[in-house]
Amino acid sequence: MDGRADLPRVGAVLEGGTSSLPYVVVDAAGREIEPVSRYLRDLLLGDVSPLTCRSYGHDLLRWFRLLWAVDVGWEQATEAETATLVGWLRTARNPQRRRRVGGYPAGSVNPKTGKPVLAAGYAPRTIAHNLSVVHGFYAFHLHFGRGPVLNPVPESKARRQALAHRSPIEPARPHRRARLRPKIPARQPRAIPDAQWDELFALMGCARDRALLACYISSGARASELLGVQLGDIDWHKGQLRVVSKGTRARQPVPVSPEALAYLAAYLDEAGLPEGDVPIWRTRRGQSRPLTYWAARRVLQRAAEVLGANWTLHDLRHTAATRLARDPEMTLVEVQTILRHAHLSTTALYTAVGLEDLVDKLAAHYARPVRPTSWPQQYAADDIEAVFGAGQ
């Protein structure tokens, strides 16, 4: 760790087994951390998804690990502990960033895709999310008179004033960040170029993988949404799939291309129709099980490693969104409906033109000879030289 102290790897986030608490955070002795459970139950009453509950549980486990390391109870936490957490996150290595030997260095840029390789540490967005979770945890307990008198996570009054009474159609007013908050870089959508997409698709070695990628690239569905599609969710006549939307958790239709439906029919013909209300995407080895997100991600990773690329499952949604947004026959509102974005500004991000999209135009620009400066004929050459110099 290059001399940096690591947090104790104690405690865990476990499945709760009940609908009121799908995930529970336990300490080193396996005992439930009751303050965290109260907060997570309150989140579920606010209609968050179980996966959000799991994500918040991991952030709070990291916070409690820090408090255990410095021997401070959660009721006595101050800004000093928050600063310690931020300092550790900015210097520690993220265990999720372990890479295989021979890969590109952390923080570099993949020369084939032009896409940055994830840094070895925690991303600024991860740090900001952890601070927001801890702030919400203490705000919840402060409402009921528990915990410290002041929230240990600083907040920005300027941000609250900028967001208050603002119309959704108005641009956001600039505001100062709260103390200890990192700068969050703007997200840039990454679309797979057509040539690299053809190479990637050609490496799919079975009907299931070809059907899966074809459905991703034509529907624009999120990775977890498409993996939950059941046999009854396929509308062959309308060319649609019904997915459980990530935001609303409502079952909504998404379009798919005729080519994707053909690949899907070939896969179902080869694998057989699943029995009961189970996802259609199944494992191919051993006992038939639903294809998980991690298994689907590994399918894409193996193909990308052969090409020396670093494309991800979410890049397939970016690619579909970019193709739709740049189609002159489709309006931005229509693309927003297909992608199920809550705000049109999110859809507008896919209309931005990157430098890699201008390679051919820049090559043509540099190949054109420089045009000599020409002046209107009614001006005398001596007058032009007197005003602009002899070089003109």
Catalytic residues: 222, 246, 314, 317, 341, 350
Q: For tokens 């009054």, what's the residue?
A: 157
- Cβ neighbors of 6 (< 8 A, separation 6 or more) are 92
Contact 159, 179 (CB under 8 A): no
Task: Name beta bridge partners: 15.
Answer: 23
The Cα-based distances of 78 to 75, 132, 330 in angstroms read 9, 15, 53
Find where tokens 């990773």 sit. Answer: 301
Question: How far apart (Å, rounded) are the C-alpha atoms in residues 36 and 26?
Answer: 9
Q: What is the DSSP string of 170-194?
A: SPPPP-PPPTTPPP-PPP---PPPH
Judge contact between 281 and 288, C-beta under 8 A: no
Q: How far apart are CA 140 and CA 16, in angstroms?
A: 21
Of the candidates 353, 329, 351, the one whose C-alpha atom is nearest the C-alpha of residue 341 is 351
For the chain, what is the radius of gyration of the CA atoms?
27
Give the DSSP letter of residue 28: T
Q: Is 369 helix (H, G, I), strand (E, B) or coil?
A: coil
Bridge partners (DSSP) listed for residue 253: 242
Phi/psi at 361 (5° precision): -70, -40
